[in-house]
Homo-oligomer: A and B are copies of this chain.
Amino acid sequence: MIIVMKPNAAPQSIQAVVSYIEGNGLSVHLSRGEEVTIIGIVGDKSRLSAENLTVYKDVDRIMPVTESYKLANKKFHPEPTSVKVGCTVIGPDNLTVMAGPCAVETEDQLMTIARAVKESGATILRGGAYKPRTSPYSFQGLEEEGLRYMQEAARETGLATICEVVSTEAIEAAVKYVDMIQIGARNMQNFILLKEAGRSGLPVLLKRGLCATVEEWLNAAEYIMSEGNESVVLCERGIRTFETATRNTLDISAVPVMKERTHLPIIVDPSHSTGSYKYVPSMAKAAVACGADGLMIEVHNDPAHAMSDGPQSLTFAKFDKLTRELQPFCDIVGRAFRR
Contact = CB atoms under 8 A, between A and B. Distances in A.
Contacts of A55: 277, 303-304, 310-311, 313
Interface stretch (A89-97, A127-135, A146-154): A127-135
A87 interface: no
Nearest to A133: B191
A223 interface: yes
Interface in A136-178: 136-137, 166-168
A274 interface: yes
B307 A283 contact: no
Main secondary structure of the interface of A (DSSP, over half): mixed
Given A33-B29, A191-B166, A304-B53, A68 B289 contact: no
A313 B273 CA distance: 29
Given A6-B75, A137-B46, A257-B245, A52 B306 contact: yes
A10 interface: no
Given A55-B277, A190-B187, A213 B245 contact: yes
Interface string A270-285: 0001101111001101
A246 B54 CA distance: 13
A253 B257 contact: no
Contacts of A317: none
Interface string A26-57: 00010111111010111100100101111110
B54 A305 contact: no
A226 B136 contact: yes
B260 A304 contact: no
Interface in A283-339: 283, 285-291, 303-308, 310-311, 313, 328-329, 332
A213 to B, nearest CB: 6
Interface in A192-225: 192-193, 195, 210-211, 213-216, 219, 222-223
Contacts of A43: 34
Nearest to A331: B328
A250 B7 CA distance: 29
Interface of A: 2, 4, 6-7, 20, 29, 31-36, 38, 40-43, 46, 49, 51-56, 60-61, 63, 65-66, 68-69, 75, 132-137, 166-168, 186-187, 189-193, 195, 210-211, 213-216, 219, 222-223, 226, 239-246, 249-257, 260, 273-274, 276-279, 282-283, 285-291, 303-308, 310-311, 313, 328-329, 332
15 contacts: A7-B66, A34-B43, A49-B308, A52-B305, A52-B306, A56-B304, A187-B190, A210-B211, A239-B243, A243-B251, A245-B254, A252-B283, A252-B286, A253-B273, A257-B279
Contacts of A283: 252-253, 256, 290
B239 A241 contact: yes
Nearest to A59: B311
Nearest to A185: B189
A49 to B, nearest CB: 6
Contacts of A276: 54
Given A40-B33, A256-B279, A249 B246 contact: no
Contact of A136 (B38, B219, B308): B219
